[in-house]
Amino acid sequence: MRHATIIGTGSYAPDNTMTNEDLTKLVDTNDEWIITRTGIKERRIATGELTSDLAYEAAVRAIQNAGLTAAEIDLIICATITPDSFMPSVACIVQDRLKAMKAAAFDLTAACTGMIYGMVTAAQFIETGMYQNILVIGAETLSKILNWEDRSTCVLFGDGAGAVVVSSTEKESGMLSSNLLSDGSKQALLSCPAVPLNNPFTKAETTNFAPSITMQGQEVFKFAVRSITENVKAVLKKANHTVEDIKYIIPHQANLRIIEQAAKFLDVPVDKFYLNLEHYGNTSAASIGIALDELVQNKQIQHGDKLILVGFGGGMTSGAVLLEWD
Chain positions contacting ligand UT7, by CB under 6 A: 29, 33-34, 37-38, 112, 151-152, 155, 215, 217-218, 220-221, 224, 254-255, 282, 313
CB 58 within 8 Å of CB 159: no
Instruction: Give 80 or 255: the residue with its C-beta nearer to ligand UT7.
Output: 255
Which residue has the CB atom at the shortest distance from ligand UT7?
Answer: 217
Min separation Cβ 264 and ligand UT7, Å? 16
Q: Is 282 a catalytic residue?
A: yes
- For residue 192, CA distances in Å to 111, 146, 217, 226, 309 come to 10, 9, 14, 23, 25
Active-site choice (65, 133, 231, 282)? 282
How big, in percent rounded to 5, are the helix, strand and coil portions of the chain?
Answer: 40, 25, 35
Shortest CB 63 distance to ligand UT7, Å? 28
In sequence order, what are the beta bridge partners of 140? 160
Catalytic residue among 78, 92, 112, 154: 112
We find the least distance from the C-beta atom of residue 190 to ligand UT7, in angstroms, to be 6
154 part of the active site: no
**Bridge partners of residue 106, in order along the sequence:** 77
Give the DSSP per-residue string, 203-247. ----SS-----EE-HHHHHHHHHHHHHHHHHHHHHHTT--GGG-S
* Minimum gap (Å) between residue 132 Cβ and ligand UT7: 32
**Pick from 154, 55, 157, 161: nearest CA to 100:** 55
Give me the catalytic one of 65, 92, 133, 252.
Answer: 252
112 included as an active-site residue: yes
Indicate the residue among 220 and 266 with the shorter CB distance to ligand UT7. 220
Residues marked active site are found at 112, 252, 282
